[in-house]
Structure 1
């Protein structure tokens, strides 16, 4: 198999299996789920990834890349801190159906499952979560320096609340099959950003 063909095969496996891992979890995803979905043999799967954990890691990276790209695009598209914070909320609002159909937030799913079983995946989830928090904190502090955001706002605390609201909204909507709950939470969070954080004249 040529390198290019091998990479195409790996890409196809990841794109096919990533939603399965996200929906069923690492523990509950059987090898038969993977072979049935891809149409490949066990040997072909392990020939490309070595073992189930390596495939799961690649799928996790694929799943979170969509959300990371959304953050990067939002930051690049909006010069002001307030617009960055509301823009990211708009991204989640506009892509909620995609995230929901894919099994929910991959970061939250992996963090919950890995808490008891897989320290390696827990550490990966922790690193991504802390990086996300760091990005939010930086945006808030930039806004405080530029006179957009109230100086008394505690950046670390609000970043935790901001992320928890998004993740909690996805969890509530997914568990209750009520997407309205998520959209209401996002709208309330937008209101907080525009009224509690923003300096108005």
Structure 2
């Protein structure tokens, strides 16, 4: 009879996610993962199969949490515009935090894996499309609540916001001048008015 698992699988995935997010897939070693998760080598392999399978599961946890946070922000204020603004101000706040130099895991993996890994590329595309869809809904809501002009094309603006978000995330990981990120965000927000 197999022994029951004595650890929280989701918590192990979250800890693995943080390692992959900060170091990237290739630079993450098995000892890094064992230390972060507190698992033995056999427990890690018995539960997740391989480093790659663990990475894919951890990446999915990242995507789910990212979408939860995004939807929370996009529905947090009295108008869609102020909700979108609040989300981007949070992104800037995270960029200022020295203990969070990770940027965006989807961007990081898009760069690391590039077009050479169709499975990861598909997950990254799914993440970016989910963000675009969420922004599209928020912009449509803004057109209804009067905070975004009716003549704005919601899908095209959502694509612009998605690309801007990824650029901000990449630049924040690079620890570039915050004034540059603040200026870009300010200009981006004017496109919604």
Superposition TM-score tier, normalisation by shorter sequence: 0.7 to 0.9
Residue of structure 2 equivalent to 1:144: 143
TM-score (structure 1 length as normaliser) = 0.80
Question: How far has the Cα of 1:81 moved from its partner?
Answer: 1.9
Question: How far has the Cα of 1:175 moved from its partner?
Answer: 1.9
Residue of structure 2 equivalent to 1:197: 192
Question: How far has the Cα of 1:177 moved from its partner?
Answer: 4.0
Greater alpha carbon shift after TM alignment, 71-80 vs 99-108: 99-108
Question: How far has the Cα of 1:126 moved from its partner?
Answer: 0.8
Greater alpha carbon shift after TM alignment, 61-70 vs 16-25: 61-70
Residue of structure 2 equivalent to 1:168: 167
Counterpart CA distance in 2 for 1:58 and 1:99 is: 27
Residues 15/137 of structure 1: CA separation in 2 closer, same or farther (3 Å cut): closer
Q: Do the aligned residues in 1 keep the contact of 2:95 with 2:101 (CA within 8 Å)? A: no
1:106 counterpart = 2:98: no
Cα shift readout 1:41-71 (whole Å, capped 9, x = no counterpart): 3212101211112210222123334422221
Q: Do the aligned residues in 1 keep the contact of 2:71 with 2:134 (CA within 8 Å)? A: no
Residue of structure 1 equivalent to 2:124: 125
Counterpart CA distance in 1 for 2:131 and 2:35 is: 35
Q: Which runs of 5+ in 2 are unaligned?
A: none
Counterpart CA distance in 2 for 1:132 and 1:12 is: 25
Residue of structure 2 equivalent to 1:11: 10
Q: Which runs of 5+ in 1 are unaligned?
A: none
Question: How far has the Cα of 1:130 moved from its partner?
Answer: 0.7
Q: Do the aligned residues in 1 keep the contact of 2:24 with 2:108 (CA within 8 Å)? A: yes
Counterpart CA distance in 2 for 1:148 and 1:17 is: 40
Question: How far has the Cα of 1:13 moved from its partner?
Answer: 2.5
Residue of structure 2 equivalent to 1:80: 79
Residues 97/42 of structure 1: CA separation in 2 closer, same or farther (3 Å cut): farther
1:24 counterpart = 2:23: yes
Question: How far has the Cα of 1:171 moved from its partner?
Answer: 1.5
When the two structures are aligned, how many residues end up with a matched partner?
A: 191
Question: How far has the Cα of 1:100 moved from its partner?
Answer: 6.8
